[in-house]
Chain A
Amino acid sequence: MSDLETLLRTSLEAAADHAPNSGNLLAGARRRLRRRRVLTTSAAVAAVAMVVVPISLALGDGDAEGSKLPVATDPPSVASGWRIESWRDIEVTVPESWGYGTVDQWCADDGKSAKVPVVDRPGLQTEVLCHPIFGYGVRFVDPAVDSDHAPSEIWQYDGGDGYPDGAWLASWSPGPSSDAAISVVAPDRATVQRILDSARRITGTDANGCPSHADADPAAGERLSICRYGGDGWLQQSERLSADDTQRAISEIGHGALVDGSVGCGSSEDTTIKLGGLAVVTLTSECADGNQIALSGTLHQLTKRDLYWALSPGWSGGVDRSVPFPEHLRR
Chain B
Amino acid sequence: MVADDFAAWVEARGPGLLRLAYVLTGNSVDAEEIVQDALSRALPRWSRISTVGDPDAYVRRMVVNAHTSWWRKFRRRESVMADPPERPGTPSGLAVEERLELWRACLRLPDDQRTAVVLRYYEQLEYAEIAELTGVREGSVRSRVSRGIATLRLELAGESETE
Contacts and interface: CB of A to CB of B under 8 A. Distances in A.
A160 B127 CA distance: 13
A128 B41 contact: yes
A81 interface: no
A148 B20 CA distance: 23
Given A7-B98, A147-B113, A19 B76 contact: no
Nearest to A26: B10
B125 interface: no
Contacts of A330: none
Interface stretch (A8-16, A174-182, A293-301): A8-16
Interface stretch (A65-73, A118-126, A201-209, A244-252): A118-126
Contacts of A5: 121, 149
Interface stretch (A29-37, A216-224, A273-281): A29-37
A78 interface: no
B144 A148 contact: yes
A145 B10 CA distance: 30
Contacts of B7: 26
B152 A8 contact: yes
**Range, interface on chain A:** 35 or more
A9 to B, nearest CB: 5
Interface in A158-204: 160-163
A19 B15 contact: yes
Contact of A29 (B39, B84, B152): B39
A30 B40 contact: yes
Interface residues of B, number: 68
Q: Determine chain A's interface SS by DSSP, over half rule.
A: loop
B130 to A, nearest CB: 11
Contacts, number: 168
Interface in A101-136: 104, 122-129, 132-134
A151 to B, nearest CB: 14
Contact of B102 (A7, A16, A142): A7
B18 A20 contact: yes
A4 interface: yes
Interface string B87-131: 100000000001110110010001111000110011010000001
A72 to B, nearest CB: 34
B132 A22 contact: no
A232 interface: yes
A19 B21 contact: yes
A162 B137 contact: yes
Contacts of A29: 10, 36-37, 39-40, 42-43
A33 B39 CA distance: 9
Contacts of B102: 7-8, 11
Given A26-B11, A36-B40, A132-B135, 17 more contacts: A11-B106, A15-B22, A15-B23, A16-B23, A18-B87, A20-B18, A30-B43, A33-B40, A33-B41, A122-B72, A126-B66, A129-B41, A145-B75, A147-B144, A148-B144, A162-B131, A162-B136
14 contacts: A11-B99, A12-B118, A12-B122, A14-B84, A16-B19, A18-B85, A26-B7, A26-B14, A125-B73, A126-B66, A126-B68, A126-B69, A145-B110, A145-B112
